[in-house]
Amino acid sequence: MSTNYFALDSIDEALIRAERSKARELRKSRWWQQKTSTGTCWYCGQKVGFHNLTMDHVVPLTRGGRSTKDNLVPCCKECNNKKKSLLPVEWEEYMDGLRQRKE
Ligand SMILES: [Zn+2]
């Protein structure tokens, strides 16, 4: 039943598209305005200003994350790029490093 694989793939794609549009809607919400009002990156804690923050899925959509308020955080461009270029395990190590620096 090889067609099942195709069906699964298209469901995933449709789901990810739907989650992306949900995230876009949340970006316009008051909730997001409040979350980004301090201009602080959720990961590194740097104040980069509202306009330099992007919306990031803590658990990426491709790894089963969803566009829910507890999975969306403001993220500076630096962290965003880092998160994209690193493997999840490397990103975890980076975050551990940040946490230790704060303590
Ligand atoms: Zn950052």
Ligand 1 center–CA 83 separation, angstroms: 10
Q: Which amino acid is at 98?
A: L
What does the alpha-carbon distance between residue 80 and residue 82 come to, in Å, rounded to a whole number?
A: 5
Each of the 103 residues of the chain gets a pLDDT tens digit; together they read: 445 555 666 778 899 999 999 999 999 999 999 999 999 999 999 999 999 999 999 999 988 899 999 999 999 999 999 999 998 899 999 999 988 876 6
List CB-based neighbours of ion ligand 1 within 5 Å: 41, 43-44, 76, 79
Give residue 65's domain range.
Answer: 3-102
Closest by CA to 80, choosing from 64, 60, 65, is 60
Q: How many domains does the chain have?
A: 1
CATH of the domain at 72: 1.10.30.50
